[in-house]
Chain A
Amino acid sequence: MSGTITGALSADRYSFWYGEMQALFDVTLDIAPRAITALIGPSGCGKSTFLRSINRMHDLTPGVRTAGTLRLDGDDVLDRGVDVVQLRQRIGMVFQRWNPFPKSIYDNVAYGPRLNRKPSGDQLDDIVEQALRRAALWDEVKDRLRTSALGLSGGQQQRLCIARALANEPEVLLLDEPCSALDPIATQKVEELLWELKKDLTVLIVTHNLQQAARLSDQTAFFYLGRLVEHGATDQLFTAPREERTESYITGRFG
Chain B
Amino acid sequence: MSRPPRRSIRGRRARSAVMVGLTVVASILATLPLLLILGLLIQKGASSLSWDFFTAMPKPVGETGGGMANAILGTVMLIAIASSIGLPVGIGAGLYLAEHRGTKFAFLVRFLSDVLNGLPSIVVGIFAWQFLVRPVKHFSALAGGIALAAMMIPLVTRTTEEMIRLVPASLREAALALGYPRWRTSLTIVLRTALPGIVTGALVAVARIAGETAPLLFTAFGNQFWSTSVNEPISALPIQIFTYAISPYDEWHSLAWAGALVLLALVLVISLVARFATRSRFRGGHD
Chain A residues within 8 Å of B, Cβ to Cβ: 55, 57, 60, 85-89, 92-93, 95, 97, 99-104, 111-112, 115-116, 148-154, 157, 161, 164-165, 168
A–B pairs, 13, beta carbons within 8 Å: A60-B176, A89-B178, A95-B173, A99-B168, A99-B170, A99-B171, A101-B193, A102-B280, A102-B283, A115-B178, A116-B179, A150-B283, A161-B174
The reply on B184 being an interface residue by CB < 8 A is: yes
The answer to whether A115 touches B179 (Cβ under 8 A) is: yes
The answer to whether B285 touches A152 (Cβ under 8 A) is: yes
User: Which of chain A's residues have a CB closer than 8 A to the CB of B173?
Assistant: 57, 95, 99
The reply on B284 being an interface residue by CB < 8 A is: yes
| CA A57 to CA B171, docked complex, whole Å | 13
User: Which of chain B's residues have a CB closer than 8 A to the CB of A151?
Assistant: 284-286
The reply on B175 being an interface residue by CB < 8 A is: yes
| CA A149 to CA B174, docked complex, whole Å | 14
Contact string, B147-189, partner A, CB cutoff 8 A, digits 1/0?
A: 0000000000000000000001011011111111110100001
The answer to whether B193 touches A111 (Cβ under 8 A) is: no
The reply on B282 being an interface residue by CB < 8 A is: yes
The answer to whether A150 touches B181 (Cβ under 8 A) is: no
The answer to whether B170 touches A97 (Cβ under 8 A) is: yes
Measured CB to CB, the nearest residue on chain B to A150 is B285
The answer to whether B177 touches A57 (Cβ under 8 A) is: yes
User: Which of chain A's residues have a CB closer than 8 A to the CB of B287?
Assistant: 150, 154
Interface range for B: 20 to 34
The answer to whether B177 touches A92 (Cβ under 8 A) is: yes
Q: Which residue from A88, A102, A148 sits with its C-beta under 8 Å from B176?
A: A88
Q: Which residue from B170, B176, B178, B189 sits with its C-beta under 8 Å from A165?
A: B178
Measured CB to CB, the nearest residue on chain B to A105 is B282
The answer to whether B282 touches A111 (Cβ under 8 A) is: no
| CA A149 to CA B168, docked complex, whole Å | 16
User: Which of chain A's residues have a CB closer than 8 A to the CB of B168?
Assistant: 99
Shortest Cβ distance from residue B62 to the other chain A in the assembled complex, whole angstroms: 61
The answer to whether B174 touches A168 (Cβ under 8 A) is: no
Shortest Cβ distance from residue A173 to the other chain B in the assembled complex, whole angstroms: 11
| CA A86 to CA B178, docked complex, whole Å | 9
Measured CB to CB, the nearest residue on chain B to A97 is B170
Shortest Cβ distance from residue A191 to the other chain B in the assembled complex, whole angstroms: 21
Shortest Cβ distance from residue A61 to the other chain B in the assembled complex, whole angstroms: 11
User: Which of chain B's residues have a CB closer than 8 A to the CB of A85?
Assistant: 179-181
The answer to whether A148 touches B285 (Cβ under 8 A) is: yes
The answer to whether A149 touches B282 (Cβ under 8 A) is: yes
Q: Which residue from A92, A116, A152, A161 sits with its C-beta under 8 Å from B286?
A: A152
The reply on B104 being an interface residue by CB < 8 A is: no
User: Which of chain A's residues have a CB closer than 8 A to the CB of B170?
Assistant: 95, 97, 99
| CA A103 to CA B281, docked complex, whole Å | 8
User: Which of chain B's residues have a CB closer than 8 A to the CB of A111?
Assistant: 175, 178
Measured CB to CB, the nearest residue on chain A to B182 is A60
Docked complex: B263-287 residues within 8 A CB-CB of A: 280-287
Question: Which 10 A-B pairs give the minimum distances between C-beta atoms?
Answer: A151-B285, A148-B282, A99-B170, A93-B177, A88-B179, A150-B285, A112-B178, A89-B179, A102-B282, A99-B174
User: Which of chain B's residues have a CB closer than 8 A to the CB of A57?
Assistant: 173, 176-177
| CA A115 to CA B175, docked complex, whole Å | 11
User: Which of chain B's residues have a CB closer than 8 A to the CB of A148?
Assistant: 281-285
| CA A254 to CA B284, docked complex, whole Å | 41
| CA A55 to CA B283, docked complex, whole Å | 30
Other A-B pairs beyond A95-B173, A168-B179, 13, CB < 8 Å: A55-B177, A57-B173, A86-B179, A88-B177, A89-B178, A95-B170, A99-B168, A100-B174, A102-B171, A111-B178, A150-B285, A150-B286, A150-B287
| CA A43 to CA B263, docked complex, whole Å | 60
User: Which of chain B's residues have a CB closer than 8 A to the CB of A101?
Assistant: 171, 174-175, 189, 193
Docked complex: B15-29 residues within 8 A CB-CB of A: none
Shortest Cβ distance from residue A127 to the other chain B in the assembled complex, whole angstroms: 13
Shortest Cβ distance from residue B107 to the other chain A in the assembled complex, whole angstroms: 17
The answer to whether A88 touches B178 (Cβ under 8 A) is: yes
